[in-house]
Amino acid sequence: MNTLDSKRYVINNVDALLRILHADPRYALAFRNKAEQHITLKLRRKFFNAPPEGVVDAFNNALMKFLQTRSFKDEALLHGQPEGGWTAHELAVSKLGGYLYRGSLHELIQIHRRTRHEVHLTGPQGNEEGEDAALGDARHVADPSEFNDPARAYEHLSIIKRMRDCINKLSDTLRTTMFLYLDDMPMEQIARQQDLHVPTVKSRLHAARKLVTDCTRKGMD
C-alpha cells in the first residue's frame, strides 16, 4: 500500500482535483499543509515585516477563493504532471502552487491596506506618545528596505511592468538605443555600433526617456 507521500492521482482538470480532495481527506490535508508551508515561507522571506498570522490568513483566503471559484486552467494541471499522477507534495509546488502564491500575495496586500487604513482611523484615539514609541521600535528592528512593505513592493513591480510596456512601444530606432544603454554599454560604443555620433545617441536617449516617462505616468493616472 502506498504511503501518503507517494500516493498519486492523475488529475486532468479542476473538477477532478476537487473530487479527489473531497474523497481523500488525508491527501487533501497533505496538499494543504505543504502548500501553506511552501507559500507562507516565500512570503515571509519576501516581506520581512508582514505579521505571520497575516501571511497565513492571506494563504487561507487565496485557497478558499480557488476552491469556490475554480479559477485555474485545466491544462495547467497537466503541465509537468508525472506519468503516475501527482503526489500531494508535488501538486503543492506545481503550477497550482504558483497560482496560489500569487493569490496569497494579492490577499496579503489587501490585508495590509485594510490594516493600515484601520490604524490610521483609530490611532489618534489611543496613547499617541506610546504609539509613537512603539512605531519607532518597529522601524528600528524592521527591514529598512521599502520592499518589506507588501503594498510598496507591489506598486514598484507595477511601475516596472508599465515602464517595460512603454519601452516596447518605442520606435525600433529609439528602443534599440535604449536597450543598449540599459545594458550599461558606454555612449561611445553605442555610437560605433549604430554608426552614429555621440550627440545623436544622447538625443535619442533623451527622447526615449521622455516618451517612456510620459507613457508610464499616463498608466498611473
pTM, 2 dp = 0.53
- In the structure, what pLDDT confidence band is assigned to residue 116 with cuts at 50, 70 and 90? low
- Set of cell numbers at residue 62: 487565496
Residue-wise pLDDT for 165-182, tens only, equals 888 888 988 988 888 887
Residue-wise pLDDT for 35-50, tens only, equals 999 999 888 887 767 7
**CA–CA gap between residue 105 and residue 55 (Å, rounded):** 9
Q: Are 8 and 86 in contact (CB under 8 A)?
A: yes
Name residue 164's amino acid. Answer: R
